[in-house]
Structure 1
């Protein structure tokens, strides 16, 4: 614990039992769900309340703090929706790791607003298992990799490099295989920005990735986008303040707007060209699942772009293999910084991925997945539009964004109705006024009635109507 929290000792050394008096005092001082949520969120993120800490029951907290049972229930529901606490059978409510990316348990359904069918967990863009390719043939192909069991490190297999190069958007001097897409992107910016460095990032962004970037101690400046792409003035401001790495999202899984146009890329490149030693890390998180190809700086700024291509959402997270390509010096630094240059991906997984990239059967599976995902997102967007609710989403984005007057209030009301959605403010360095709901769309139900129930719940939550239902 740092010195700022030297006098705050709410938990035992084993982080399993919370000092009830301390927490009761904090909640009593807050007095409402709207105040309890930011208080507890801050304490959890700062490490004052550690992962694994078991919280007292809602009834205990209510009786001892004087705050209503409903207010405490609603506050914990929002924290659950943000992935900060989880409820375990027989284990009560436990503080989760705020930097871990994990599915969030939905709130207990309440009354007639609970979804009868379909998922209540709408915070995370996890792929639908029914739309992922069969891995059996791919893994069998991986078992035939040349040099299997060799002790010689192979940072990328010949087969994977060959197939990745075929549609790489620029001429890269070197390639390596990385872990999952987010892990590889974090490795790249952590290496190239260096400890204590400064980083410009596109927003909105994966909130878990943003949390990890902050954990590295990097100073972060956000670069918002308009209909043409990232804002050149915001990027220039970040570079003027010392940022020398720009985390660019070419396919934009969290984007509210379309990918950057060719004209905007040239404009951004002109901004970058005015500063020395700037590297662009292109985080192609959508990969082959993209509906529109993402732009690149690799052709307009030769030698200054490193691209990370993820395949997790396309082929499944168990492959945990991405491809990193770019200038030799930068790629070698990234390679050497991955567990001191000792870490390599399994040849089996690398060549299994290569098999999937080349497979016509997998290509058909991907085509179907794109179609189904697009229909699911469009169905909810249309249902919300019919209710007068405007949504924002880029063509490759896997979320719908809804602007709200009070993010906390709306999250509380949706959680009370049994729906866990993302807190949009977490995807920004500088949270916008009011806030946003971030609704994951990949695993939305295909049932139009279930979609209507979700849209109805969002509409009521936005207008505070659930507070009357559950008062």
Structure 2
């Protein structure tokens, strides 16, 4: 674009002013769209045209997938050169608002928030506050230090291993440690990039499009998003203080569910954990199912959990895939979860993964193996487990003092019943406290209301004040 063209456009615009009478929320496409967009442009420079389109995107006048007018059509309507409009479209493309595909046209892109799966996006409610208890993440101050482990591993790690595409995908030292602590003898073990990655890869191997999967209700929202994306149908199973209710699981299996996904301890969001007796009852329900059933166990809290490591794999070793994450105990950015179970599933999982990422960084695997055996790191994780346990008890005791009786759970989350979910979020927001809304945790997909998830890992102080705010928010 030449300077004279830009100045001329600006002068004509300042004389004419904006034209009115059109609805900016229905742009449409073609020449009519060009005319409607031209009516809204005040500044006919590239910057002004781009700003008008950006404003429409941010206010909903243009939606993801909407097609913008052609460069020549809009240039004709604005009486500017095509280069002027082209520069505006280029500026919008650079900042990620639109995508230009040649003759296919220029279309509005989804915002980064729109690309996040819906239940992930809906977990938090209200504006950011002084205290964020919504995340479900560990306290960074309680994670073991990675620096010393990285230094030790880098000093002794074989150079050939970091340069190899064909070395074993699971470092032998880590496999030895995993087998020594696994809740049942697995035929195969491997590691992947976090618990959700493990669930996704296992479901991909064990289920086909349209299959039914029994899930906990309430349950983990990203799992529900994952099942939706895989084309799998959720079958909700109710919970009590010991996990899935056997009769409810039996009904789900009778309805055709061919897989079960459950959290054996520190259930997110309720904090409940399986007892050995409940595990036997659930295993009996699986055996009685009219079809073969796979059981996927998501032990996401691992070593920071205070409950026993109970698994149906001790009773159904050929049908259970157990996942143990190290994100909450050793750091989310390690991106390591171990997966153990039948060879038929694990061999297929490893083979498919070789055609994608291949393996989880052996450097990070050795760092984890070091952290699992280093004295100070072991002590740090044990200290974190005790602290989380104490924060659960401290908050539930303070809530009881303010008239809200709850049974403390395990892990980093507390499931708080409320009379009205939205009103409770507003009340807590006014107190500067942010929590996770209960609705995304409902496996039925219906408006559940009635609960909030509170992450106790971030509750280092002001426990009584937080309990008072929670009790007031929960009240009718």
Q: TM class, shorter-chain normalised?
A: 0.7 to 0.9
Checking the alignment, whether the CA contact within 8 Å between 2:213 and 2:260 is kept in structure 1 is yes
- CA distance 1:460–1:229, shift in 2 (3 Å): closer
- Counterparts in 2 of 1:73-84, with a 5 A limit? none
Q: CA RMSD of the aligned region, Å?
A: 3.1
Please give the secondary structure, in 2, of the residue aligned with 1:280. Answer: strand
Give the equivalent residue in structure 1 for 2:466.
454
* Rounded Cα–Cα distance in structure 2 between residues aligned with 1:49 and 1:451: 44
- Counterparts in 2 of 1:33-432, with a 5 A limit? 95=113, 97-99=115-117, 107=127, 119-143=130-154, 144-146=156-158, 147-256=161-270, 258-275=272-289, 276-338=291-353, 340=355, 342-394=357-409, 396-430=410-444, 431=446
Checking the alignment, whether the CA contact within 8 Å between 2:224 and 2:234 is kept in structure 1 is no
* Rounded Cα–Cα distance in structure 1 between residues aligned with 2:188 and 2:266: 24
Report the Cα offset of residue 140 of structure 1.
2.9
Checking the alignment, whether the CA contact within 8 Å between 2:194 and 2:336 is kept in structure 1 is yes
Structure 2: gaps spanning 5 or more residues: 1-24, 30-49, 66-110
Report the Cα offset of residue 259 of structure 1.
1.9
CA-to-aligned-CA distance 1:62-83 (integer Å, 9 cap, x gap): xxxxxxxxxxxxxxxxxxxxxx
* Rounded Cα–Cα distance in structure 2 between residues aligned with 1:220 and 1:213: 7
Checking the alignment, whether the CA contact within 8 Å between 1:223 and 1:235 is kept in structure 2 is yes
Checking the alignment, whether the CA contact within 8 Å between 1:155 and 1:345 is kept in structure 2 is yes
* Rounded Cα–Cα distance in structure 2 between residues aligned with 1:296 and 1:272: 13
* Rounded Cα–Cα distance in structure 1 between residues aligned with 2:27 and 2:309: 47
| Structure with the greater alpha carbon radius of gyration | 2
Checking the alignment, whether the CA contact within 8 Å between 2:266 and 2:305 is kept in structure 1 is no
- CA distance 1:456–1:257, shift in 2 (3 Å): closer
CA-to-aligned-CA distance 1:355-412 (integer Å, 9 cap, x gap): 1112222111112111222222222212211111133442x23211111122122112
* Rounded Cα–Cα distance in structure 1 between residues aligned with 2:267 and 2:387: 16
* Rounded Cα–Cα distance in structure 1 between residues aligned with 2:235 and 2:27: 33
- CA distance 1:145–1:202, shift in 2 (3 Å): farther
Report the Cα offset of residue 291 of structure 1.
0.8
Report the Cα offset of residue 18 of structure 1.
4.4
Please give the secondary structure, in 2, of the residue aligned with 1:410. Answer: helix
Report the Cα offset of residue 312 of structure 1.
0.5
- CA distance 1:9–1:168, shift in 2 (3 Å): farther
Checking the alignment, whether the CA contact within 8 Å between 2:322 and 2:339 is kept in structure 1 is yes
* Rounded Cα–Cα distance in structure 1 between residues aligned with 2:115 and 2:439: 19
Report the Cα offset of residue 422 of structure 1.
0.7
Structure 1: gaps spanning 5 or more residues: 1-7, 24-47, 52-92, 110-118, 465-471
Which of the pair has the greater relative contact order for Cα pairs under 8 Å at 6+ separation? 1
* Rounded Cα–Cα distance in structure 1 between residues aligned with 2:142 and 2:175: 26
